[in-house]
């Protein structure tokens, strides 16, 4: 047997999913008859709009053919109508359809940064930014936000301290995964000012655009003046239509040179999924009431989780403002150990909870050890039971910090 | 307006689709009332099997959810059954479902090679290898094959001359896109011997596995002994089931370390398309006669194109052995100019042809200038008319080499 050559260095560096380690424990718990409430990932239980499922089932092609690399024309029409509806009228060529928000991140990071170049991200951040930057050889440079500030942005000085000659852009996610924070207009203005002055791209992950609570509105970076060539939005239909599995997203920018480079990336992979685009073209026919009801439901779920967490002594959090996540500091030595405890050593009347330890959302070693993310993606009854079990588990956990 | 920072160097290097330049001319020709036979891309007109379309229309989820990063369990079952059927029994964990063969190439190149590392490819080659290697910073090093050899492999010495300290693997596509060549067992044995001796990965793009003619059989690199840790197959259902738009493919390897790294890549993008996997799970129910009829049809189409080309003076080609492409040297100064002439300045009774100039399939500058690829993806009647027009155009073209 010949000796296999080593894999690429970046293969060793590719981060494993931070919650994957826990999956076997969840499977064991379920096999043992426990009810495991999955608050660990952002897979909503919300039904896809009827119009979308009906269009899917009405697929009338003789075969499932390639579409254009930039997206099916009728789906692009639907996207243009959507963005105009949310106050973002766009020209042809300013929207590029991607295979989920994931591919949008890959292409954008790849087209603005070379191996060794840097992009600032606010930690805790969506873990997969790390996966794509590792694949591309791009360095994600963390700027830390804090639980006690509700994970809002730190000062201008703290942000600018991380900018170097290799910095090519700032990547911001609002409403935020994993923290649920919605950045205020003044925070976004700060970022746009820094990017304008330093000549940096501002990349905004706005996939949770509509998911804002307590009357808040999210402002797209596309709406800021004098930012045409710097603003790049990565977007996805996954959460908006509860169609995570269709793998359809988009890159939106008025920077034509960038969009041309993105098209070349897209030509290499031929086209985004035809079936997902076919079905999602029916987004035109989804009544506004669908999204209103979804948001109202998430706001109520948020309240269930927030009220439960604030009534537990030693838990630090601010009220989440958007998306469907909450990050909190827990009175435990190690949230990773506590998450394992929940699955392996605990149940309340046969019930327990799966959470995402937050250390995987930080790039700075040692941060997030006592924090966790909970996704409120279950119905309120289940969420209520889950939070009861969660509170009881915190009391029972013998690694509780004294 | 602030000055935009430059894009990444790799953004400038991303190759445009070599046939994209011609698309506007095809649109103009059609707008002018010409019938344009599209022999430029590998989009077959073959219907998707009924079982697959029926399962698609029977989608019964309340929503379209994420699946596992490695693929839906029931779809993986169908793939295991398929590979066992073609003589490749595999263990769990040796198949990873990707978003088309495209993503399989991206992940494999990324996991075996770091920026600056090299992978040998036989030119002319599938252009998109270039796109992905550019995105990853990997160098594709061409080893030239020749029209007069039927694009079969050159000598061992010619291959080994391109191996350097940075070489990490050899990428081979058989049956070949764009040449239609099926490498013989002795050619594949040569490659396996080189890879074993030099400690290189052997990556095989086998998406056209079944598309072989005149009684030929394609041998998978997975069937060679003592290659377990070196052999990596990239695969796709696109052509096999005429489902190019579902974007479902796979990586197959017995190298567990590689498969673990690939899983980490896959976790970053969450999951491959759920709808495509759902529909393709019905591949279990597609009768063997479907593929037999498809192959018979392509063989007849191949004959139409081959007979037409060999009857034109000055055209150099060997009989294509597989896939559904033929590459040929044409009696023209510049196939790119000729392709443009076909669309802009020529018609025969209102008919003309769109072809893919082959220079885009070569990495060595200057090669392929007088070669073109034709995809025989139309029915035989249309193909016959297309080839008549093609022959007439070669006579009419005033850039013909004397």
| Model confidence at B1: pLDDT above 60 | no
Give me the residues of A, 161-200, that contact B with CB < 8 A.
168-169, 195-197, 199-200
Spell out which residues of chain A touch residue B10, defining contact as CB-CB under 8 Å. 110-111, 114
Q: Do B111 and A10 touch (CB under 8 A)?
A: yes
- C-alpha pair distances (Å), B225 with each of B193, B220, B228: 11, 11, 7
Residues 6+ positions from B353 with CB-CB distance below 8 Å: B36, B37, B39, B342, B386, B389, B390, B393
Q: Do B2 and A44 touch (CB under 8 A)?
A: no
The predicted model gives B193-218 an average pLDDT of 97
Three-class SS of residue B399? coil
Asked whether the beta carbons of B179 and B151 are under 8 A apart, the reply is yes
Q: Do B229 and A63 touch (CB under 8 A)?
A: no
Q: Which residue of B has its CA nearest to A128?
A: B268
Residue A158: CB atoms within 10 Å:
12
DSSP state of A68: -
Cα–Cα distance between B319 and B180 in angstroms, integer?
A: 9
b (16+ CB within 10 A) / e for A320-344: bbbbbbbbbbbbbbbbbebbbbbbe
Cα–Cα distance between B17 and B174 in angstroms, integer?
A: 22
Task: Express each pLDDT in A47-64 by its tens digit.
Answer: 999 999 999 999 999 999
pLDDT attached to residue B5:
84
Length of chain A as a residue count: 402
- CB neighbour class for A35 (10 Å; exposed up to 12, middle 13-18, buried from 19): middle
Round to the nearest angstrom and report the end-to-end CA distance of chain B: 55
The predicted model gives B251-256 an average pLDDT of 97
Cα–Cα distance between B98 and B72 in angstroms, integer?
A: 11
pLDDT attached to residue B257:
97
The predicted model gives B330-341 an average pLDDT of 95
Three-class SS of residue B292? helix
Spell out which residues of chain B touch residue A100, defining contact as CB-CB under 8 Å. 269-270
Q: Is B225 on the interface with A (CB under 8 A)?
A: no
Spell out which residues of chain A touch residue B228, defining contact as CB-CB under 8 Å. 1
Query: Which domains are delineated in chain B?
Result: 9-47+289-396 (3.90.1150.10), 63-285 (3.40.640.10)
Residue A229: CB atoms within 10 Å:
19
Interface A–B counts its CB contacts (< 8 A) at: 290
pLDDT attached to residue B154:
98
pLDDT attached to residue B17:
81
Cα–Cα distance between A319 and A305 in angstroms, integer?
A: 10
Q: Is B15 on the interface with A (CB under 8 A)?
A: yes
ipTM, two decimals:
0.95
The predicted model gives B359-377 an average pLDDT of 94
pLDDT attached to residue A23:
87
Cα–Cα distance between A34 and A40 in angstroms, integer?
A: 16
Q: Which residue of B has its CA nearest to A48?
A: B63
pLDDT attached to residue B207:
98
pLDDT attached to residue A341:
96
CA A301 to the chain's CA centroid: 18
Q: Which residue of A has its CA nearest to B254?
A: A4
Spell out which residues of chain A touch residue B26, defining contact as CB-CB under 8 Å. none
Q: Which residue of B has its CA nearest to A103?
A: B269
Spell out which residues of chain B touch residue A20, defining contact as CB-CB under 8 Å. 267
Q: Do B275 and A271 touch (CB under 8 A)?
A: no
Task: Express each pLDDT in B164-191 by its tens digit.
Answer: 999 999 999 999 999 999 999 999 999 9
Residues 6+ positions from B335 with CB-CB distance below 8 Å: B355, B357, B358, B359, B368, B369, B370, B371, B372
pTM: 0.96
* Residue that wins the pLDDT comparison between B3 and A22: A22
- CB neighbour class for A217 (10 Å; exposed up to 12, middle 13-18, buried from 19): exposed
Asked whether the beta carbons of A124 and A358 are under 8 A apart, the reply is yes
pLDDT attached to residue A3:
63
The predicted model gives B8-37 an average pLDDT of 91
| Model confidence at A67: pLDDT above 90 | yes
| Model confidence at B265: pLDDT above 70 | yes
Is the Cα dihedral B163, B165, B166, B169 positive or negative?
positive
Asked whether the beta carbons of B292 and A265 are under 8 A apart, the reply is no
Q: Do B65 and A4 touch (CB under 8 A)?
A: no
- Taking all residues of chain B, what is their mean pLDDT, rounded to a whole number? 95
Give me the residues of B, 85-104, that contact A with CB < 8 A.
99-100, 102-103
The predicted model gives A239-267 an average pLDDT of 97
Q: Cα torsion at B52, B57, B58, B63 (round to 10°)? A: 120
């Amino acid at each position: 047997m010949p000796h296999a050559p080593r894999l690429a260095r970046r293969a060793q560096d590719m981060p494993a999913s931070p919650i994957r380690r826990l999956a076997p424990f969840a499977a064991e718990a379920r096999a043992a008859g426990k009810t495991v409430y999955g608050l660990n990932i952002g897979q909503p239980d919300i039904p896809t709009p009827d119009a979308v499922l009906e269009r899917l089932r009405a697929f009338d092609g003789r075969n499932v053919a390639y579409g254009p690399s930039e997206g099916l024309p009728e789906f692009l029409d639907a996207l243009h109508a959507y963005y105009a509806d949310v106050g973002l009228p766009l020209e042809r060529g300013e929207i590029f359809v991607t295979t989920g928000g994931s591919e949008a991140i890959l292409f954008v990071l790849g087209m603005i940064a070379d191996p060794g170049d840097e992009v600032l991200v606010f930690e805790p951040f969506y873990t997969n930014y790390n996966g794509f930057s590792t694949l591309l050889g791009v360095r994600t440079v963390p700027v830390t936000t804090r639980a006690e500030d509700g994970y809002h942005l730190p000062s201008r000085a703290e942000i600018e301290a991380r900018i170097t000659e290799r910095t090519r852009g700032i990547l911001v996610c609002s409403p935020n995964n994993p923290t649920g924070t919605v950045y205020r207009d003044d925070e976004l203005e700060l970022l746009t000012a820094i990017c304008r002055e330093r000549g940096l791209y501002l990349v905004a992950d706005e996939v949770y655009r509509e998911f804002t609570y307590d009357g808040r509105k999210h402002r797209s970076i596309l709406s800021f003046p004098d930012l045409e060539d710097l603003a790049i939005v990565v977007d996805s239909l996954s959460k908006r239509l509860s169609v995570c599995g269709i793998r359809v997203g988009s890159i939106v920018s008025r920077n034509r040179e960038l969009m041309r480079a993105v098209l070349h990336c897209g030509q290499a992979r031929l086209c985004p999924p035809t079936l997902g685009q076919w079905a999602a073209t029916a987004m035109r026919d989804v009544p506004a009431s669908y999204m209103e009801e979804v948001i109202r439901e998430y706001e109520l779920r948020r309240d269930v989780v927030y009220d439960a967490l604030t009534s537990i002594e030693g838990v630090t959090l601010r009220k989440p403002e958007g998306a469907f996540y909450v990050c909190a500091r827990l009175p435990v030595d190690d949230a990773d150990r506590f998450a394992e405890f929940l699955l392996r050593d605990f149940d309340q009347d046969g019930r327990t909870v799966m959470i995402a330890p937050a250390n995987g959302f930080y790039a700075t070693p040692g941060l997030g050890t006592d924090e966790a993310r909970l996704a409120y993606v279950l119905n309120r009854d289940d969420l209520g039971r889950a939070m009861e079990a969660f509170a009881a588990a915190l009391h029972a956990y013998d690694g509780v910090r004294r």
